[in-house]
């Protein structure tokens, strides 16, 4: 049932979205891997990525009424995921926000379906949690209820304190965060791929230094 997680890691590696080497993180750490969802940048990769989001949502079994994609990266993710869910028999509305409110035409701060009911936020990753906080505030201001956040990869890495960025969101806002795959899934993938084994020890060492376990 959960093979899609390993399939997603393999897909990300094949697309060169998930790379191995030495990369500087925003926290100033030298990471042995780097994930850049912005490189899912053509029709085929976006279609496949959206299908992985849809599988993760269905596996999590969280009740929701619509999708919301925070600008900018969340916009194609929410639209693509809505299409993928529709292809699986689950047709739901979606919307996204404007970076600046429009004062002419239809106006407003969002585009698409009105924010109503239980809203599932679709984003690529959670780093500082700023995008999530802004999304939750906007959704609540519209009278709707943020019910979960869905991301591509959970690095399971400590932030400034003892918690990961994902755990901080769950603690601060009381909503679950669903990831297509996590650092544990990445390690499982590396252990099963002979040609990738050279990266395993570096990723394990990094986890031992900065990693946290999800509840």
Catalytic residue numbers read 102, 104
Rounded Cα gap, residues 211 and 163, in angstroms: 9
Q: Side-chain half-sphere of 164: how many Cα atoms within 13 Å?
A: 21
Instruction: Classify residue 198 as left (phi > 0), alpha (psi -120 to 50) or beta.
Output: alpha
Q: How far apart are CA 155 and CA 126, in angstroms?
A: 9
Q: What is the 3-state secondary structure (H, E, C) of the chain?
A: CCHHHHHHHHHHHHCCCEEEEEEECCCCCEEEEEECHHHCCCHHHHHHHHHHHHHHHHHHCCCCCEEEECCCCHHHHHHHHHHHHHHCCCCCCEEEEEEEEECCCCCEEEEECCCCCEEEEECCCCCCCHHHHHHHHHHHHCCCEEEEEEEEEECCEECCCCCEHHHHHHHHHCCCEEEEEEHHHHHHHHHHCHHHHHHHHHHHHHHHHHECCCC
């Amino acid at each position: 049932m959960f093979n899609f997680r390993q399939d997603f890691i393999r897909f990300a590696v094949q697309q060169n979205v998930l790379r191995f080497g030495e990369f500087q993180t925003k926290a100033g750490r030298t990471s042995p891997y780097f994930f850049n969802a912005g490189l899912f940048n053509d029709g085929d990769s976006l279609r496949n990525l959206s299908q992985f989001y849809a599988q993760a949502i269905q596996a999590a079994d969280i009740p929701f009424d619509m999708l919301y994609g925070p600008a900018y990266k969340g916009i194609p993710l929410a639209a693509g995921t809505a299409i993928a869910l529709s292809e699986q028999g689950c047709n739901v509305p979606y919307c996204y926000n404007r970076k600046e409110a429009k004062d002419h035409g239809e106006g407003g701060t969002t585009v698409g379906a009105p924010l109503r009911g239980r809203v599932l936020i679709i984003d690529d990753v959670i780093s500082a949690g700023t995008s999530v906080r802004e999304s939750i505030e906007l959704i609540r201001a519209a009278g709707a209820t943020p019910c979960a956040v869905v991301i591509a990869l959970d690095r399971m890495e400590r932030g400034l304190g003892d918690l990961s960025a994902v755990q901080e969101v769950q603690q601060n806002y009381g909503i679950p965060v669903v990831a297509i795959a996590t650092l544990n899934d990445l390690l499982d993938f590396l252990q099963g791929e002979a040609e990738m084994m050279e990266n395993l020890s570096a990723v394990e060492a990094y986890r031992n230094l900065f990693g946290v376990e999800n509840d």
